[in-house]
Amino acid sequence: MSDLPDHIGWDLVRASRVWLAEFESEVVAAGHPWFAEARGRLVEHIGRDGAEQGAIAIRAGLTKQAVAQHLDSLERDGLIRRETLEGDGRKRRVVWTGQGLRALHDIDIAKGRVEARFRLRLGDDAFRHLRDGLKRIADVRQET
């Protein structure tokens, strides 16, 4: 990687890849191999309280068809269900099943384990500053 320009963008990308690899490994080890597949990327876009299917596609930056295929797979595995929205039979809301909520609990535990390793690597103060800085960077994107 020495041929890449040295700037914070590449640092962020490399750190993100390390985070994701460790996170996925923990979640898979907890019994959720689907999380390391493309459909696992939808978890952050569904949220704990569920979401309207079209909104998931927009948040994920995927086509409605691709999202529908991933959701079909999650539904077959018993992790989510889709409900018709009152007042508009064409729109559907995605909600977690009991099994899906248990998976989210395991995902939370995995996140905590990875976060604890990062905290140990950096120290408490540096870890807190890193999180604060990353949140400020992300907030700028949301403001635009």
Burial class (CB in 10 A: 0-12, 13-18, 19+), 96: buried
Query: Residue 142 pLDDT more than 80?
Result: no
Q: Which residue has the higher pLDDT, 1 or 13?
A: 13
Confidence of residue 141 (pLDDT cuts 50, 70, 90): low
Q: What are the tokens at 109?
A: 């535990």
Tens of pLDDT, residues 78-134: 999 999 877 777 889 999 999 999 999 999 999 999 999 999 999 999 999 999 999
Q: Quote the CA–CA distance of 23 and 35 in Å, as a whole number.
A: 10
Identify whether the C-beta of residue 55 lies closer than 8 Å to the C-beta of residue 92.
Answer: no
How much is the pLDDT for 5? Answer: 74
> How crowded is residue 83: how many other Cβ atoms within 10 Å of its Cβ?
12
Confidence of residue 138 (pLDDT cuts 50, 70, 90): confident
End-to-end CA distance of the chain: 32
Query: Residue 2 pLDDT more than 70?
Result: no
Q: What are the tokens at 68?
A: 């529908």
Q: Quote the CA–CA distance of 77 and 69 in Å, as a whole number.
A: 13
Q: Which residue has the higher pLDDT, 90 or 43?
A: 43
Identify whether the C-beta of residue 77 lies closer than 8 Å to the C-beta of residue 39.
Answer: no
